[in-house]
Chain A
Amino acid sequence: MRRIRTGRAFIAAVLVAVLFLIYLAQNGSFGAIEALGITNAALPLALVAAGETFVILTNGIDLSIGAVVTMTNVTCALVAGKGHGILAVLLALAVGIGAGLLNGLVVSYSGIAPLIATLATSSIYTGIALIVLPTPGGTVPVWLSNVTAGSVHSVPVAAFWLVGGIATGWAILHRLPFGIYLQALGGSESASWSAGVSVVRIRILAYVASGFYCGLAGIILAGLTQSGDPTIGAVYLLNGIAAVVVGGTSLVGGVGTISGSILGALALALVSAVLLVSGLSTNYQYIVTGLIVIGALLASSLQSKVELRRLAHEPASEEAAA
């Protein structure tokens, strides 16, 4: 069982390695500048994808991630622009958590499908973001830029965030009861319910986690761009889901990893970097991304099939017994 799960993140890891080698071959060298560019492009997407993973693990979907990123981004930039840096970060996180909480409550108590519920709240959050900051603007304090876009001894700060994200995600999913219940819920809601898992609470927490991670992404985007933009989140909706899929998380829930999603985001960021150094038009990036997303899903479904067949043919082994 564990083998299947690590195998799923494995596809994204191979993809990252291959893309990185192509990048290296095309560019000739890989230094601090290149690392900074790639990790800075990947970081917000990785955070959004990590958040979306929690929701997809419950067999739901959160289409409001882009709007939540926008809403927290403009909140952070607006408040920080008035000179309250710490307050801006805390407020933006609170906005993200609040948005996730609303999603979780609507999905859990109204019976409306997550797809429709989060599509609707996405529209609402976009509207709120436009009220907060109708046009791009606001500023962020220098320290916020430094902890997001800076480098420490030529290692990008974003790399630390990415490693931290992978470690935290692993700990949440495999060491905390919440993570175990989350995967159980996605695997079989009725079985989890029978086993005494509070499915409603776990599901709401999953949406809250999504909101929290989107809040982080919004703050980091504010740090990277040094301003707020009421349209900044739109691209993170589809790319965020794409990164989760490339990361090998099953869309029907129950199987997936945060590290896979973060590697998926890194792979998508590498695609545009590779195209850029190859001298190809970045317009090809959309085609390559689309093919990678579809291909990754095909590959992982093929992989589970092979894995299943192997398990079926070895009934005496431990995995098959489990």
Chain B
Amino acid sequence: MKSRLPRTYVRPLEVAVPFALVVVALLGGWLTTNGFLSSNHLSSLGQTAGYVGIIAIGETLVLLLGGIDLSLPYTINLAAILIAGFQAGGMSSTSDILLVLLVGAGIGLANGIGVAVLGISPLVMTLGMNSILQGVSLIYSSGSPVGQAPSVVTTISTGWWHQIPYVDVLWFVLTIVVTLVLVFTTFGRGIYAIGANRRASALSGLPVRRTVVVGYVLSALAATVGGMLLVGYSGQAYLGQGDEYLLPAIAVVVIGGTSIFGGKGSYVQTVAGALLITVIESILVTVNVNQSGQDILYGGIILAMAYVNQVALGDRARLGPLSVRLGAFRGWLEPVRRRPEADSPRNPTEGS
């Protein structure tokens, strides 16, 4: 049966490279900083990586589908504000959490319907949704969010068991679930197929629209869970809580080597990406690189890893130089239902 697994799902080299870099980065930290590999510091690294990692589950799925989700910042922020606000309203923790998850699923559903059914480009749909959610967050909180996280969320977010943060246990379980779903279920394989070639998938009878909608719902749910965990971490909700997670959520997916054109990559690689960026940031902080230096290095790391993963390991080996350039501009901006060649006729020199 092993031979029936397409190579797309299991690419040992592409999984090994980012994990090897994590080890290198950890060694680098050990050389530059005393106590870098102490269990306390490793735990706090794991905790920090956990938040980004869980939030990036959704972005991984959506990018695998060949889409993009830019509504993460305010999905996270709205979830954070709502969970704290509901708690201040004095309802039970369980119903609050379920309600917030329901809101998250609704956000994802709206994104998914916009992209898959109405044919709006994912970039614009999620960009517009982010703006709408920002307005909703501001109006709901009147500019000053109230309340605290439910105690169970605080425990999961910041609790420990023998130096193992609970959030990492959650992350580990989610990683296994996501990976199994991606590799072994029809839905998961459908994601790869649709990301690789949407039209072929539709012609083969895959439920393209349904899969895309579910992908966006899962993306919003991951962001919602991340938002609640962040409230648990900081103790309260504040406006702009999700802003700093948009770039990292996309960056860790790319650093892990998942192609933003869809169909190639895995969540395990994103886990490696989250670990790598967390370790590197920690090193930068401990050796006193200031914010500007961190920003510059961050950009450099994304560029370098994108080059290594997408060009050196993947695309360029398969395709000629010109088709690489073509490939770099096709795919992720398109509406789900049709290829651009099929609709808007363009003949730019005409009529001018």
A residues contacting B by CB (< 8 A) are 1-2, 4-5, 58-61, 106-108, 110-117, 119-131, 134, 174, 180, 183-184, 186-190, 193, 199, 238, 241-242, 245, 250-255, 281, 283-291, 293-294, 297-298, 301, 304-305, 308, 311, 322
Contact = CB atoms under 8 A, between A and B. Distances in A.
B303 A120 contact: yes
Nearest to A284: B135
Contact of A127 (B296, B328, B348): B296
Contacts of A58: 329
Interface in B320-352: 322, 324-326, 328-330, 332-335, 340, 343-352
Contacts of A124: 295-296, 299-300
A290 B114 CA distance: 13
Contacts of A116: 250, 254, 260, 302-303, 306, 310
Given A1-B345, A294-B124, A308-B343, A111 B324 contact: yes
Nearest to B351: A2
A122 B133 CA distance: 24
Interface stretch (B90-98, B115-123, B200-208): B115-123
Contacts of A127: 291-299
30 contacts: A5-B351, A59-B330, A111-B315, A111-B324, A112-B303, A113-B306, A113-B328, A113-B329, A113-B332, A114-B329, A115-B68, A119-B302, A120-B299, A121-B299, A123-B247, A127-B296, A127-B298, A180-B349, A187-B347, A189-B329, A255-B346, A281-B138, A283-B143, A286-B131, A290-B129, A290-B134, A294-B114, A294-B128, A297-B124, A301-B120
B346 A254 contact: yes
Shortest 5 CB-CB distances between A and B: which pairs?
Answer: A127-B295, A183-B348, A2-B351, A286-B135, A290-B131
Contact of B302 (A2, A120, A186, A284): A120
B302 A293 contact: no
Interface residues of B, number: 70
A112 B311 contact: yes
Contacts of B129: 290, 294
Contacts of A59: 329-330, 333
Nearest to B344: A304
Interface in B197-242: none
B114 A112 contact: no
Contact of B346 (A188, A242, A285, A291): A188
Contacts, number: 216
Nearest to B292: A130
B329 A242 contact: no
B348 to A, nearest CB: 3
A251 B124 contact: yes
A60 B118 CA distance: 23
Nearest to B129: A290
B127 A253 contact: no
The winner among B131, B322, B326 for most chain A CB atoms within 10 A is B131
Contacts of A174: 352
A187 B292 contact: no
A286 B307 CA distance: 36
A114 B306 CA distance: 11
Contacts of B75: none
Interface of B is mostly: helix
B110 to A, nearest CB: 10
B350 A241 contact: no
Nearest to B333: A251
A104 to B, nearest CB: 13
A61 to B, nearest CB: 7
B267 interface: no
Contacts of B153: none
A250 B114 CA distance: 17
A288 B135 CA distance: 9
Given A128-B292, A252-B334, A286-B132, A238 B306 contact: no
Interface in B67-82: 68, 70
A199 B322 CA distance: 11
A293 B132 CA distance: 10
A187 B345 CA distance: 9
A124 B295 CA distance: 6
B300 A189 contact: no
A123 B298 CA distance: 7
B347 to A, nearest CB: 6
B137 to A, nearest CB: 9
Contacts of B335: 301
A255 B349 contact: no
Given A111-B310, A184-B348, A252-B333, A297 B131 contact: no
A283 B139 contact: yes
A284 B139 contact: yes
Contacts of B114: 294
